[in-house]
Amino acid sequence: MEEKLDLLKIREQISSLDNQLLGLAAKRRELTMNVAKSKAHIIRPVRDQQREQELLVKLIQQGKALGLDAHYVTRLFQLIIEDSVLNQQAFLQELKNPNTKTPTVSVAFLGDKGSYSYLASYRYFSRRAEEIIEYGCASFNDILNQVESGNVDYGMLPIENTSSGSINEVYDLLQHTNLSIVGELSQPIEHCLLSAGNTSLDAIDTIYAHAQPVQQCSNFLNKQSDIRIEYCESSADAMQMVEKLTQPNVAVIGSEEGGQLYGLQALQKGIANQEENHSRFILVARKPVDVAEQIPAKTTLILATGQAPGALVDCLVVLKQYDINMTKLESRPIQGRPWEEMFYIDLEANLKSIAMQECLTKLTELTRFIKVLGCYPSEQVNPTSVPFAALHNE
């Protein structure tokens, strides 16, 4: 009895401390927003990795004195710093594009509540809007139509995945749209096998899923004998189906978080081929945005070269001349022109920079067709590493 009372008391103390930690995290966030305001005036980059490293080394030392291990302190503060950087970026981006700041945004995404695109939309706008008007669509094409027609403000589209690669259908649609890419988001995709009610993996003979998760979980699926795959238009459709059927022999591939919206439970977690399974999403809108100078920017181009030897190399040499790093190069066939390719290129550059403008002029001379799909803030915040000595007591 005494032990039980003690447990309650200790838990109360823990909860009270957790609440204080949250209060401190909120205060820290407020201070970093003041830092962002100062950077807006003096035009300094949001990221200062030297300051981050100094901060981490000091915190590791202070943590050690309190009995906290170096890896724990590092991970904790890398997460806090990532949040700080992304919030500062969102703030400066709004300052640069005041017309895009609205408390309510309407977003088109694939599927219904609980789809991966739905979760990505909420995550992206959590720092940027107070309310989302959801617009679930049946296809990628429909998402673009909804934005193009002015029915919704934004469209969220998956573009690539660390297991299954590029999403070709989205690349092909981008060739013909007038929309601009205005943002990106990388989201961990944690596939689970979900079911309605009590059942076991052995009892499952039918799995409902979208084609992308099926590809990304092929190793797990190949190991299951006598399983039938029922393809659905989105993971949300698949989850709705399994919720409706409520049978012990059916399951669905989806996220645990999304499955909760349909009362589904995880029979098995982490079923993707790669443990680190991430998808990159792009956000499209009718008007392009300018990226604040303090933020690392990406520019996406599509271009077609002539059929001459080394034509693509000539374009890449121009990038080298202007010291512009390319983070992705993808090629897709051009409809009606057999064996000719359209190249999609992601560059680490701000479209408004002198280097990028000069580079574009040169590329235009070298290509048959060139179009800027958009310039947007890079959301990739690679954690600052700490020196080996700081981590290992030296």
Ligand X SMILES: C=C(O[C@@H]1C=C(C(=O)O)C=C[C@H]1O)C(=O)O
Of 70 and 284, CB closest to ligand X: 70
Asked whether residue 51 is marked as a ligand-binding residue, the answer is no
- 348 neighbors 327 (Cβ within 8 angstroms): yes
Residue 386 binds ligand X, judged by CB under 6 A: no
CA-closest candidate to residue 214, choices 201, 233, 195: 233
How far does the chain reach from its first CA to its final CA, in angstroms? 47
**Closest residue to ligand X: CB criterion:** 84
Asked whether residue 113 is marked as a ligand-binding residue, the answer is no
In angstroms, rounded to a whole number, what is the distance separating the alpha carbons of residues 176 and 374?
14
Of 81 and 105, CB closest to ligand X: 81
Q: Number of helices and strands (H, E) in the chain?
A: 13, 15
Of 92 and 132, CB closest to ligand X: 92
Asked whether residue 11 is marked as a ligand-binding residue, the answer is yes
Q: How far is the CB of 127 from ligand X (least distance, A)?
A: 14
Could you say which residues in the range 31-70 bind ligand X, by CB under 6 A?
32, 35, 47-48, 51-52, 55
Residue 81 binds ligand X, judged by CB under 6 A: yes
Asked whether residue 320 is marked as a ligand-binding residue, the answer is no
Of 10 and 33, CB closest to ligand X: 33
Residue 169 binds ligand X, judged by CB under 6 A: no
As a whole number of angstroms, the longest Cα–Cα distance in the chain is 84
Candidate list 73, 85, 192, 315; residue touching ligand X; CB under 6 A: 85
Q: How far is the CB of 35 from ligand X (least distance, A)?
A: 4
Asked whether residue 52 is marked as a ligand-binding residue, the answer is yes
Q: How far is the CB of 326 from ligand X (least distance, A)?
A: 25
Of 55 and 326, CB closest to ligand X: 55
- Express the helix, strand and coil content of the chain in percent, nearest 5 each: 45, 25, 30
CA distances from 260 to 194, 240, 250, 270 (A): 10, 11, 17, 16
Could you say which residues in the range 88-147 bind ligand X, by CB under 6 A?
88
In angstroms, rounded to a whole number, what is the distance separating the alpha carbons of residues 210 and 232?
5
Of 81 and 390, CB closest to ligand X: 81
- What CA dihedral angle connects 122, 125, 131 and 132, to 10 degrees? -60
Q: Give 179's contacts (C-beta < 8 A, 6+ positions apart).
A: 144, 147, 148, 155, 284, 285, 286
Q: How far is the CB of 295 from ligand X (least distance, A)?
A: 12
Q: In what order do the strands lie in the sheet with 250-255?
A: 228-231, 206-209, 250-255, 191-195, 265-268
Asked whether residue 215 is marked as a ligand-binding residue, the answer is no
State the number of CA atoms in the 13 A half-sphere of 388 facing the CB: 0
In angstroms, rounded to a whole number, what is the distance separating the alpha carbons of residues 151 and 292?
28
Q: How far is the CB of 381 from ligand X (least distance, A)?
A: 9
- Beta-bridge partner residues of 187: 279
Asked whether residue 47 is marked as a ligand-binding residue, the answer is no
Could you say which residues in the range 184-243 bind ligand X, by CB under 6 A?
none
Q: How far is the CB of 212 from ligand X (least distance, A)?
A: 34
Of 32 and 279, CB closest to ligand X: 32
Known binding-site positions: 11, 28, 39, 48, 52, 84, 88
Known binding-site positions for substrate: 11, 28, 39, 48, 52, 84, 88
Chain residues in the site for ligand X (CB under 6 A) = 32, 35, 47-48, 51-52, 55, 81, 84-85, 88
